[in-house]
Amino acid sequence: MKNSMVVIVERKDFQNLFDVLSKRGYQISGPTLRDNAVIYDNISAVEDLPVGWTDHQEGGRYRLEQTNKKSLFACVVGPHTWKKILYPAEHTFIQVKRNGSKLEITSAEKKPPKSALIGVRPCELHALAIYDKVLKDGPYPATSYLQRRQDLFIVAVNCVNPGGTCFCASMNTGPKATSGFDLALTEIINNDRHYFVVETGSKLGADLLKEIPNKEAGIEETQTADKALQKAAARMGRTLDIKGIHDLLYRHFDDPHWGEITKRCMTCGNCTMVCPTCFCVNVEDTTSLDGRQAERLRKWDSCFTVGFSYIHGGSIRATETSRYRQWMMHKLSYWQNQFGTLGCVGCGRCITWCPVGIDITEEAAYFRKNDK
């Protein structure tokens, strides 16, 4: 954004952000601890954040650990994504009433509360931009998404401490937020000082900031933040070389290696549920017991199910191999044809939350290594 402003907000003043957002009628969501994981839920105070916790992530492994620092954002992304709020897992969108042979069809969309998201990571901002292309910018946008997206206030957090399965640097999606936010924070704990370098990304963000005690950022403070982010970019747990990846995977469409991957893949669909860009949904119709009312619901679906591609006579993708290939090629190849961008933002969730630790970066590297 032109005229973007960089200021410093001290840790002790950080609660003001929550208060100002609440005062302006926002329902605030952000990272919080539950069942030994950091998830996204409604929060109202700094204490709701995973204060002092950090995470260790590897293929098929996620562990939280308490540190002696009191960081608010030392955990990177967990099993939740913002689609939980913006495109809920289950959503009723049509209601039908029957009266004899006559039907009355009405929209079941309700105006959602104004929502503020705190702690959106740079990779997730990119995921939102991708969601916008899929659900907002097409000829038939998804109403519920439009409504939720409209009044969204986004507080991004830059990643000074990337996780073990992160690879945003190689996807050009992080670790620093460049656009798509109202405010972007870099959390710095330096000796005894705990503060946030805050960049404004919108007029609204700048306006809101007026109500939070802040001071102009000094060169040293911004340099500290920049350095931390440069270091973070060099400390990614994974890398994925995306050069020519579209054609690379096409060339290997019939590679028997897909079959090797699916010896491990259980087609559980975890990777699709935790993916911030996976958007596939099923549509279900239900009827009340007396038969007078029916509803149409949308539910997250996964291309790993056999039923996903079912047409009369059988499924198009009947083998596990074809379903894993569909998922990975969709992310890295087809997505580019469909929406002009990659469908992967390098958040690493699919690696962490795969029960057997299948690693999209490893598999992409295999095809590259074995490319003739």
CB of 160 to another protein, least distance (A): 35
CB of 128 to another protein, least distance (A): 16
Q: Which is nearer to another protein, 195 or 300 (CB)?
A: 300
- Cα–Cα distance for residue pair 33/39, rounded to 1 Å: 6
Q: Which is nearer to another protein, 196 or 324 (CB)?
A: 324
- 101 binding another protein? (CB under 8 A): yes
- Stretch of 74-82, 169-177, 261-269, 305-313 contacting another protein, by CB under 8 A: 305-313
Structure-block tokens of residue 31? 């990272």
- Residue of the chain from 309, 357, 362, 365 that contacts another protein (CB under 8 A): 309
Q: Which is nearer to another protein, 222 or 309 (CB)?
A: 309
CA quadruple 269, 270, 276, 281: dihedral sign? positive
For 98, phi then psi, to 5°, come to -115, 135
- 67 binding another protein? (CB under 8 A): no
- Cα–Cα distance for residue pair 279/297, rounded to 1 Å: 15
- 102 binding another protein? (CB under 8 A): yes
Residue reference for tokens 């000829």: 139
Give, in order, the Cα–Cα distances in Å from 117 to each of 29, 149, 258, 268, 298: 5, 11, 38, 29, 23
CB of 147 to another protein, least distance (A): 14
- 313 binding another protein? (CB under 8 A): yes
Structure-block tokens of residue 140? 């038939």
CB of 8 to another protein, least distance (A): 43
Give the SS3 label for residue 275: coil
Strands 215-216 and 193-200: unpaired
- Cα–Cα distance for residue pair 326/308, rounded to 1 Å: 11
Binding positions for another protein, 172-231, rule CB under 8 A: none
Chain positions contacting another protein, by CB under 8 A: 93-94, 96, 98, 101-103, 105, 134-135, 138-140, 142-143, 250, 253, 279-287, 291, 294, 296, 298, 301, 303, 308-313, 316-319, 321-322, 325-326, 329-330, 333-334, 337-338
